[in-house]
């Protein structure tokens, strides 16, 4: 059976891994390669690297560390951050990234999803969606890496996910911003709503704080993978213990 994926997310800023609370107040948590190797050894199924300032600073992630990571690890990884052209995406894939993830540039120019999907195949095109609940409605925000540059897009989350899939996204990562960094659990209700309309793999992001949050999101929202950062970086949850717990609860995992 297809295993549910456990995906540590490494937010990269200035060549280091950082973590903030609700996308703000970032602290240094370690070197890119040290963390990549640590998570690989602990049994992470995949890694995601977000260059959180790339989109807001109008620059693109450096392929140099991508190649370093690709050389070192033997599990798949995805890179994100300000990728806004076929050339930029191609350079990252050629450097050894398995998937690229786009977020703000796709919101500004949705046809970018079509272009990337046609050039490289939908299997390596991930669309990240930063969603914020406001008075019971799920709304998409862009440029969330910098609070001063964050924008309301006026888009409805469900509509945008559907459009991204129709345009050729091969996977959706849904960052539920109300939950991000506060470790109170994934936004099951929102993820369930998105799961209903999402025909490609769906990855939950934002809110993991305890082992039970992972089994809850797999069982209740039927997501394909769960992404988390601080609980892994701060060693609040060890991946082997997490996977053992999921297996005890009859959730398929790779041990």
The catalytic site residues sit at 11, 130
Euclidean distance between CA atoms 23 and 244, whole angstroms: 30
Min separation Cβ 218 and another protein, Å: 13
115 binding another protein? (CB under 8 A): no
Instruction: Give the residue, chosen from 94, 108, 182, 197, that forms a contact with another protein under the rule CB under 8 A.
Output: 94
Which regions of 58-156 does DSSP assign to beta strands (E)?
A: 77-80, 99-102, 125-134, 137-142, 151-156
Min separation Cβ 71 and another protein, Å: 5
Using CB under 8 A as the binding rule, the residues of this chain from 127 to 146 that contact another protein are: none
Total residues binding another protein (CB under 8 A): 36
> What is the separation, in whole angstroms, between the first and last Cα of the chain?
13
Tokens (6 digits) for 234: 């701060």
Using CB under 8 A as the binding rule, the residues of this chain from 143 to 172 that contact another protein are: 170-171
Instruction: Give the residue, chosen from 16, 22, 76, 247, that forms a contact with another protein under the rule CB under 8 A.
Output: 76
242 binding another protein? (CB under 8 A): no
Min separation Cβ 158 and another protein, Å: 16
By beta-carbon proximity to another protein, the closer residue of 71 and 137 is: 71
74 binding another protein? (CB under 8 A): yes
Using CB under 8 A as the binding rule, the residues of this chain from 26 to 45 that contact another protein are: 45
Of the candidates 47, 56, 48, the one whose C-alpha atom is nearest the C-alpha of residue 84 is 56
Instruction: Give the residue, chosen from 37, 75, 236, 238, that forms a contact with another protein under the rule CB under 8 A.
Output: 75
SS3 state at 203 = strand
218-237 footprint of another protein as x/- string (CB under 8 A)? ------xx------------
Q: 148: Cβ–Cβ under 8 A, 6 or more apart, which residues?
A: none
Euclidean distance between CA atoms 157 and 65, whole angstroms: 32
Tokens (6 digits) for 95: 């450097």
Alpha carbon distances (Å) from 105 to 60, 136, 147: 11, 26, 17
| CA–centroid distance for 40 within its chain | 17
Binding site for another protein (CB under 8 A): 1-5, 45-46, 67, 70-71, 74-76, 90, 93-96, 98, 118-124, 170-171, 198-202, 224-225, 254
């Amino acid at each position: 059976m297809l295993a549910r994926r456990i995906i540590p997310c490494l937010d990269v800023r200035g060549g280091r891994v950082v973590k903030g609370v609700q996308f703000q107040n970032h602290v240094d948590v370690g070197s890119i390669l040290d963390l990549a190797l640590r998570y690989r050894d602990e049994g992470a199924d995949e890694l995601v690297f977000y260059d959180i300032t790339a989109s807001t600073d109008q620059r693109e992630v450096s392929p140099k560390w991508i190649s370093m990571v690709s050389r070192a690890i033997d599990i798949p990884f995805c890179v994100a951050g300000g990728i806004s052209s076929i050339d930029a995406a191609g350079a990252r894939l050629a450097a050894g990234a398995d998937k690229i993830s786009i977020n703000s540039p796709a919101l500004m120019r949705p046809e970018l999803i079509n272009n990337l999907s046609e050039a490289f195949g939908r299997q390596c095109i991930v669309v990240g969606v930063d969603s914020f609940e406001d008075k019971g409605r799920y709304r998409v925000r862009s440029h969330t890496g910098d609070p001063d540059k964050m924008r309301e897009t006026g888009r409805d989350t469900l509509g945008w996910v559907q459009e991204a899939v129709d345009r050729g996204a091969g996977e959706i990562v849904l960052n539920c911003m109300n939950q991000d960094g506060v470790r109170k659990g994934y936004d099951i209700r929102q993820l369930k709503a998105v799961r209903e309309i999402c025909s490609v793999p769906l990855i939950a992001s934002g809110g993991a704080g305890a082992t039970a949050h992972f089994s809850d999101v797999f069982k209740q929202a039927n997501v394909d993978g769960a992404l988390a950062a601080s609980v892994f970086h701060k060693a609040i949850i060890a991946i082997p213990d997490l996977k053992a717990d999921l297996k005890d609860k009859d959730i398929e995992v790779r041990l």
